[in-house]
Amino acid sequence: MNDYLASLTTEGINPETAMIDEMSTEQMLALMNQEDAKVPAAVGAEIPQIARAVEALYRALSTGGRMFYIGAGTSGRLGVLDASECLPTFGVDPSLVQGYIAGGDSALRVPVEGCEDDGEEGRALIDRIGVTNKDAVIGISASGSAAFVIEALRRAGEVGAVTIGVVNNKDTKLEEAASICIAPVVGPEVIAGSTRLKAGTAQKLVLNMLTTSTMVKLGKTYNNLMVDLKASNKKLFDRSLRIIKTATGVDEATAEKYLQESSLDCKLAIMMIKSGLNAGEAKRVLTECGGNLKKAIRVCSKVI
């Protein structure tokens, strides 16, 4: 038996759920809910480390770098999910936030056994995707023992990238490979070792915080509005109109007029309304302000 793995909190047996197979359905669900309620506090305890990671990510992305999620199993799927959501939510280039899972994209649907133990492939992946010293790499592993993730982080560190670990145990092998480690410990799972449960939930909350906070700092929102979305379908067109109306106070007809004039660019439409500039001039000022809408509006106000 591997003593390291046996000592992990995520491998422990939860005494509260020992008789779960003899419970009624409602008792079982209530117990799961009770265990899930422990997750936010565990994440909250890691906010200082999460803040360090956000600051590092902001520095990397604001100076031409990218961020990469590297994981295996549930952890890998969560990384790919969070990366893929950054495009529709914040209008970023697909290359800015990328997610990779041990075993490749097929492992998103069907488990590819043994891939998480392939450390050499983790190192090769870092070289293959071209990680540089401008980038940040986030390794995700509930146990902190996945060689694929650990070696990917080590290789990323060797090329000078920022390395961040997200793990659900303390004092792990993954922590040794990361310059910043976020470790929300949620205790043994309802079903022993099933880290898609509390550990996975904690990871999802952490990843939400990392990308959302970084994107806010990069000016991808206006107040709490996702102004960088593109109105590429009916739902997003309607959402864009509501965002424009909320941000500017105009009526729906005016919001739609400017949205059309901006080629369905919600942020540009707001900038045009707020500044009185045409699409070309408004876009120029936004570009000069690094895409930060609030900053661009203030610049125009000073000029006026």
The structural architecture, per CATH, of the domain 3-217 is 3-Layer(aba) Sandwich (3.40)
Distances (CA, A) of 219 to 48, 229, 287, 295: 22, 13, 12, 9
- What is the pLDDT at residue 304? 46
> Considering only CA atoms, which of 134, 100, 93 is closest in space to residue 220?
93
- What is the pLDDT at residue 300? 87
pLDDT in tens, 160-202: 999 999 999 999 999 999 999 999 999 999 999 999 999 999 9
Buried b (16+ CB within 10 A) or exposed e, 82-118: bbebbeebbbbeeebbbbbbbbeeebeeeebeebbeb
Question: What are the φ and ψ backbone dihedral angles of 168, each rounded to 5 degrees?
Answer: -115, 25
96 with 61: CB under 8 angstroms?
Answer: yes
pLDDT in tens, 193-237: 999 999 999 999 999 999 999 999 999 999 999 999 878 889 999
Give the active site residues: 85, 116
Mean pLDDT of 113-129: 95
244 with 222: CB under 8 angstroms?
Answer: no
> Considering only CA atoms, which of 7, 2, 4, 8 is closest in space to residue 199?
8
76 with 106: CB under 8 angstroms?
Answer: no
Q: What percentage of the chain's residues is helix, strand, coil (to nearest 5)? A: 60, 10, 35
For residues 201 and 184, give the distance between their C-alpha atoms in angstroms, rounded to a whole number.
Answer: 10
Q: Across all residues in the chain, what is the average pLDDT? A: 95
For residues 282 and 123, give the distance between their C-alpha atoms in angstroms, rounded to a whole number.
Answer: 44
CATH code linked to domain 234-303: 1.10.8.1080
12 with 192: CB under 8 angstroms?
Answer: yes
Q: What is the percent of the chain with per-residue pLDDT over 70, rounded to a whole number? A: 99
Task: DSSP for 98-132, please give it.
Answer: EEEETT-GGGGTS--TTGGG-HHHHHHHHHHTT--
What pTM was computed for the model? 0.93
For residues 240 and 259, give the distance between their C-alpha atoms in angstroms, rounded to a whole number.
Answer: 8
For residues 98 and 233, give the distance between their C-alpha atoms in angstroms, rounded to a whole number.
Answer: 23
CB count in 10 Å sphere of residue 260: 11
- What is the pLDDT at residue 6? 76
Residue 114 clears pLDDT 90, i.e. is over it: no
Task: DSSP for 248-263, please give it.
Answer: H---HHHHHHHHHHTT
**In the chain, where are the structural domains located?**
3-217, 234-303
300 with 282: CB under 8 angstroms?
Answer: no
pLDDT in tens, 36-90: 999 999 999 999 999 999 999 999 999 999 999 999 999 999 999 999 999 989 9
Residue 112 clears pLDDT 90, i.e. is over it: no
Q: Which residue has the tokens 């999910």?
A: 81
205 with 43: CB under 8 angstroms?
Answer: yes
- What is the pLDDT at residue 302? 64
pLDDT in tens, 239-297: 999 999 999 999 999 999 999 999 999 999 999 999 999 999 999 999 999 999 999 99
Residue 303 clears pLDDT 60, i.e. is over it: no
